[in-house]
Amino acid sequence: MTNPFSVLLSLYYKESPAFLRQSLDSIFRQTLLPSEVILVKDGPLTAKLDETIEEYALRYPQLKIIPLAKNGGLGKALNEGLKYCSYDLVARMDTDDISKPDRFEKQIKIFQEHPELDVVGAWIEEFEGDTSKVTSIRKLPEQPSEIYEYGKKRSPINHPV
């Protein structure tokens, strides 16, 4: 697979360093690694978050840190981060999301097989505390006609909250 792609995340001071570690580990342990990871620091962070970011930036040169002087919220931070993404394909994650090890491989393959697509989503497993204790699975339609109908009332793309 040769499609280069970016991963875009935004981080603000209330996030957990432990969750950030799990999220970044899930990115850098993928069966298909991203070409770059853009991490937007949405305003000043805690010392622990900054330490975690520095540790990962030293280990993974594809991690690019974009600092913002003040917190502007997720939408503004992501819009700014998109300016730094070098590739047309951008995978989105929150800094408390944990991706399955083959997420990117599967999604890039879909784009290769269907170049007419603009967006690819995924089902998500929700858990509390321990990732092995799944409390629910948010499934969404997969076929274009089903996505179209579903999209009339709700977003057909999962975004964890």
Query: Is 154 a domain residue?
Result: no
Judge contact between 39 and 53, C-beta under 8 A.
Answer: yes
pLDDT of residue 139: 77
Among the residue ranges 13-22, 66-75, 113-122, 149-158, the one predicted with the least confidence is 149-158
Q: pLDDT of 110-119, one tens digit each?
A: 999 999 988 8
The mean of the pLDDT values for the chain is 90
Alpha helix stretches (DSSP H) within the chain: 17-28, 47-59, 74-82, 103-113, 144-151
Query: Is 47 a domain residue?
Result: yes
Buried b (16+ CB within 10 A) or exposed e, 90-113: bbbbbbebbbeeebbeebbeebee
- Hey, what long-range contacts does 69-73 have (CB within 8 A, 24 or more apart)? 69/43, 70/43, 70/44, 71/12, 71/13, 71/42, 71/43, 71/44, 72/42, 72/43, 73/42
HSE-CB at 14 with a 13 A cutoff on CA atoms is 4
Provide the number of structural domains found in the chain: 1
pLDDT of residue 146: 86
> Which pLDDT band holds residue 105 (cuts at 50, 70, 90)?
very high
Query: Is 126 a domain residue?
Result: no
The boundaries of the domain holding residue 77 are 6-101
Residue 42 has pLDDT above 70, yes or no: yes
CATH number of the domain enclosing 31: 3.90.550.10
Query: Is 55 a domain residue?
Result: yes
Query: Is 37 a domain residue?
Result: yes
Query: Is 147 a domain residue?
Result: no
The percent of residues above 90 in pLDDT, for the chain, comes to 66
Query: Is 59 a domain residue?
Result: yes
Residue 161 has pLDDT above 80, yes or no: no
